[in-house]
Structure 1
Amino acid sequence: MFTREELKESGDILHESFILPVKMPCITPYQHQTSVLSILEGHNVNYMPWFSQNFLQLRVMLDEKSKPWLDFFTFQHDGFLICPWLEVEHIHLSTLQSMIGDPIFFLINLINLENYIYIVVDGSLISLYNIESKSKFPHPIFIHGYDLSKEVFFVADFFESHFIFAEVPFSELREAYLNIEKEDFSFNGAKLIKFRESGNEFSFDINNMMVLLADYIYTRDTRRRYRSERNYMIDEGLGFNNIYTRLSKDIHRNMEFYSALDITSFHVFYEHKKTLSLILKYLKCEGYIKNDYNLDQICKNSLLLRNTLLKYSFTRNRGSIIRSIELLEKIREEEEALLKRCYEELSASY
């Protein structure tokens, strides 16, 4: 274990404090996506041309014995989003464990080399997660800086049910890292993420975006277009009808008997409506569409839906379930009509 003085005297530690740029992004779905977007925001990247073609489609698990796990259909490699502005290097846990010395030392050196770090730790040993259970909680944490005088890392995650930037003591992160074994999570070790300017060359393709928009609206299987790059998940469904049907079934099931709703899926549902609003505003700003397609009320109702179901998870009030069913159907009707109008306008021009 290294003391602060030993770290400073080693000659490798160049800074008393070093923080890589991050900023709260426009949407906060899952941690891996939010972390990527926070890096892009931190570097003031105009990522809308890429964002508009990668955050349109949704996927959901069709097996009703499983949680819906609603998510954006985005390209990932080994559990992390592929992005043109980021270089991602995966270091396996066995390689990390072969490094001699205190893990705090090599984490600081990696940050000094301008690496953001996405590393699996035992969250039960990190107080920010506020986990009452003593059982192990393997989970990635996003690290973007450190401060030697305070002996903390600057990190980000959904610590308080929403994504926040926070500080974790060296001592907690050390223990949480050392308590991880290779089979604890879907990937093991750490991902080193470097920002690169060359991604600014990414160009917007209106025809490709229209294909993806139509895939979502008309429930077409986007996976067919990328069959050479990935395998299908048998129980996975993509597109508008699959999403609304699965979420509706989960809510209706609670009319008959109480079961734990997957609130995260309804949060991602809300984030998707925010995403659609951003994309349509981008299309209007860039001159691809002339009409206004306002999703403000759809976004408000999606947030209300999430919060109503969150309230139900505590109160089990039947009225909340009835209200949620009504809200979901209203959102479905309004979103479908609005997106079809927008697609018709685009189809008339391109």
Structure 2
Amino acid sequence: MKLPIGQPMIRSYPVHLCHLSIISHNRDFEPWFFSNYIQISCPPEFPYDRTKIINFFDYDYYNPFYASSPFASELRTERLKIPGKIISDFLEAIENNIYLHIYVDDFYIPFRSAYKIKNIPHELFIYGYDMSNRIFHVLGYDKNGKPQEMTLTFEVVEQAYVGANFILENGYKNCEWMHFDYQISYTSTQYNINLKRIINSLKSYLDSTEFNLMPETVTGLSVYKLLKEYYNNYINNRTTFDVRAFHVLWEHKNVMYQRVRYLEEKMPFNLNTLTTRLFKLQNDYLILRNSLIKNELTKKKIDNKQFCELIDSLVDRESQILSELLVELNFNSRLEVSQLQESNGGQNNQI
């Protein structure tokens, strides 16, 4: 038995991989998805602290994205303590169309880099099982950090889960979110594209608007200043190479490109020129990411001046494209309001 999963556009972190895999198995999620995932943020410590990350805004350690998604509901439950109940409870959940997002000890997971090397708790997503072969169908990151659909035997999952119980009982006290299991259910619903939200989010991204929800967090275009600080620390051996930031930024540009394509497909917009420029922008971020990976392997780093000039150029291009997009969306939004008012006899309606 397998619960349906799709191919998410954002795979950089488990929080996105798991959630979007659930809701993307059909196209109903697209209006909600393209109305969100616009803003990015990072803590001010990012340039020198590798536990801090650049990510899509709304990230919340305790209930990441599920609370604001109309397509998924999450139940946080206490971790199971009786080994004999672990597999049976997991099987029952899947039978009830519930996806499982749990923490296991990577020491026991063959496709993880920590396998038989060190004990470390890590996320695992379970979406199915095969009783005849006694395996779970799982989604997770392999030794190269790439998300893959794989299988694990019941015995391995139980061993890894019990191992994580021991680790969590004896450490990771500050990682409160790891001390729970997460049962996620898919909800079928209808959601219309939220043009007002897209406009406000784009403006906040361009203006680097601060939010009370996340005080002192750096957002929007201001993130790139910290990215340049990080790179300076990296080439001067004050921190290590972390490709995740550059992968997230490529995903951000790719989602923006796909969003504009979607708007052009679903609404009476002529955005063809912007679509072409956004495709080139996301491709340049992909080239940058791949070049940095290659340079790390060959130990031939781009010098700091060249890197900063490249980032400044990319940011200038993006700012120009998104500013033009905002003008176009604002114009069409006002036009839509005007047409709606005319069809309702001049009444003042909100969209």
TM-score band, normalised by shorter chain: 0.7 to 0.9
Q: Structure 2: how far apart are the matches of 1:62 and 1:53?
A: 27
> Which of these residues, 164, 168, 176, is aligned with residue 160 of structure 2?
176
Q: Which residue of 2 aligns with 1:5?
A: none
Change (3 A) 1:117 1:320: farther
Matching residue of 1:304 = 287
Residues 302 and 133 (structure 1 numbering): CA distance in 2 closer, same or farther, change over 3 Å? Answer: farther
CA distance in 2, matches of 1:36, 1:208: 21
Task: Say whether 1:238 aligns with 2:227.
Answer: no
Distance 1:316 1:233 in 2: 37
Q: Over aligned residues, Cα RMSD in angstroms?
A: 2.2
Unmatched 5+ residue regions in structure 1? Answer: 1-17, 225-229
**Structure 1 segment 191-230 matched on structure 2, within 5 A:** 191-197=182-188, 199-200=189-190, 202-221=191-210, 223-224=211-212, 230=213
Q: Is 1:286 the equivalent of 2:273?
A: no
1:220 to 1:253, Cα distance in 2 relative to 1, 3 A: same
Percent identity over the alignment is 21
User: After the TM superposition, which residues 70-109 of structure 1 pair with which residues of structure 2 at under 5 Å, given as runs?
Assistant: 70-74=54-58, 76=60, 78-82=62-66, 83-93=69-79, 96-97=80-81, 101-109=84-92
Distance 1:153 1:212 in 2: 39
Following superposition, the deviation at residue 100 of structure 1 comes to 7.0
CA distance in 1, matches of 2:7, 2:331: 37
* Counterparts of 1:38 and 1:260, CA distance in 2: 30
Contact between 1:301 and 1:327, CA under 8 Å: does it hold in 2?
no
Runs of 4 or more above 6 Å deviation: none
Aligned to 2:322, the other structure's residue is in SS state helix
How far apart, CA to CA, are the structure 1 residues paired with 2:109 and 2:56? 28
Give the conservation status (yes or no) of the 8 Å contact 2:29–2:71.
no
* Aligned mates of 2:10, 2:121 — CA distance in 1: 24
TM-aligned CA distance change 1:120 to 1:233, over 3 Å: farther
C-alpha distance in 2, partners of 1:308/1:326? 16
Q: How many residues align?
A: 318
TM-score scaled by length of structure 2: 0.84
Cα contact 2:107–2:116 (8 A) shared by 1: yes
Do residues 125 (structure 1) and 105 (structure 2) align?
A: no
Q: For residues 158 and 318 of structure 1, what CA distance do their matches in structure 2 show?
A: 27
Structure 1 distance, partners of 2:63, 2:176, is 8
* DSSP 3-state at the match of 2:205: helix
Stretches of structure 2 that go unaligned for 5 or more consecutive residues are 335-351
Task: Provide the rounded CA distance (Å) in 1 between the counterparts of 2:176 and 2:311.
Answer: 32
**Deviation (angstroms), 1:41:** 2.0
